[in-house]
Chain A
Amino acid sequence: GEDVEQSLFLSVREGDSSVINCTYTDSSSTYLYWYKQEPGAGLQLLTYIFSNMDMKQDQRLTVLLNKKDKHLSLRIADTQTGDSAIYFCAQGGGYALNFGKGTSLLVTP
């Protein structure tokens, strides 16, 4: 089965908040990451959270981690059209990162 699961698609209106969810299976993951991929581009690291934390905020981004439920979320406040992209959740600890299939975020005016 898949190690990291994400919903495939999310649509929000400009100015609203977006919440992208992720579940993972490896409870020994030390770090959890969020990456953004724009069309024709590679993956850009947005933020990460250490597994002993439950929240991390970085400007418009808020990461919430529920370690008991192995649930990670990324909240983007005041979503802009430039935030339209694919967002990948990844779990890791060491060399290997396990990625989800990505959530396509569409921001409409």
Chain B
Amino acid sequence: DAGVTQSPTHLIKTRGQQVTLRCSPISGHKSVSWYQQVLGQGPQFIFQYYEKEERGRGNFPDRFSARQFPNYSSELNVNALLLGDSALYLCASSLASDTEAFFGQGTRLTVV
């Protein structure tokens, strides 16, 4: 079975640009979460979506947005990129309210 897949794996963007990251959850998982992991730190919760509705939002500015599609895949959008947005962005999928989240390998975003 395929795990959580994220695309692209690496991305380089210029300050001020916009970026879209994509995530496909494990088959049967209806919840997708997004995390930002800055180098040297633990992942920080950005969003969780379940059945296309936002279930939670972390302490991130409005430049960050996300959505979930009918097939439960998800996109994370970041507008007006800053150098500080450079990080590994992780997607995790889980059952509705489950004590296990499965992580993808992440998208490494570099803002120059």
Partners in one complex: no
Q: Which residues of A are interface residues toward B (Cβ below 8 A)?
A: none
